[in-house]
Each structure stands twice: as C-alpha cells, then as structure tokens.
Amino acid sequence: MSNEPPADRSIILVVEDEPLLRMFASDMVEDAGYSVVEAANATEAVSILEKRTDIRIVFTDIDMPHGIDGIKLAACIRDRWPPIDIIIVSGKPFPVSAQLPDRAVFFPKPYQQVEIIAMMARMGAIPSDGSARGA
C-alpha cells in the first residue's frame, strides 16, 4: 500500500520562510481544492522533492535565508525534476540578472489569489476534489 495520493490529485509544494506567509499561501492553495506540502526553505524543499514523486507544482518565494534562494531552487527543480511546474513570487522586482527557467512564472507580491490559482489550473494541476476552481 502506497503513502502517495491517487494520481489524479495534484500536490503543490509551498516554499516560504515566513511562517505567516507560508500559512497564507497554503490556505489559498487548499481553499482552491489542492493538496499542500510545506517547506520553510529551499533545502527543505529539495529534501521533500527527493522523497516524493507526487509534487506537481512548486510555489516559492525568491528571498529565503539560510541556503539557496527561490531562483536557484527553481533552476535546481528544472534540472532535477523537469516535469514540475514552478510559480515564483517576490515582494521585490524580478532580478534583471536572473533567468526564469522554462515552465516557470513570476508574480510580484502582493499577488492576486485568483491569478495564482488560475495559473495552477493552466499548469495542469487538478484540485483534490476534481473541480477546476479559479480557472
């Protein structure tokens, strides 16, 4: 018996170092009908990705202390887990020196929840209840 959910459910990994912002993002994703896994930093996110094969989308902040930032995390995900889509958010403009990996999108904070949920739906995420809310 597997510990992983059925294949028709999309799991979103939320990576945010600020506990309140992580809780807000996780609640947004859960309210849209998706399942959520949380990570407090990029190192924890990589560890989760190494252990799980059911993560469909990573939703990450850029600015994270103690390790790699969200841009480097996105590049790592693209190299090691190519099927995973990536949503990057930040309260600062996207760094001009950085390159957005393929199948990654950037949203400035404060972002509109409806836009994030619609992007998850466009990326092919399926809410755990099977609906297509926010699309």
3-state secondary structure of 90: strand
Q: Tell me if 69 is assigned to some domain.
A: yes
pLDDT, residue 30, reads 94
Gap between the Cα atoms of 84 and 66, Å rounded: 23
Asked whether residue 107 is assigned to any structural domain, the reply reads yes
pLDDT, tens digit, 9 for 90 and up, residues 63-87: 987 778 999 999 999 999 999 999 9
Whole-number pLDDT of residue 92? 87
Under a CB-based contact definition with an 8 Å cutoff, are residues 57 and 31 in contact?
A: no
Confidence (pLDDT) at 126: 72
Structure tokens, 66? 């103690």
> What residues in the chain have per-residue pLDDT under 70?
1-9, 128-135
Domain of 68 in residue numbering reads as 11-122
Q: Report pTM.
A: 0.86
> What token pair was written down for 9?
């459910």
Answer yes or no: are the C-beta atoms of 60 and 88 closer than 8 Å.
yes
pLDDT of residue 10: 84
Number of structural domains, the chain? 1
Identify the CATH number of the domain in which residue 97 sits. 3.40.50.2300
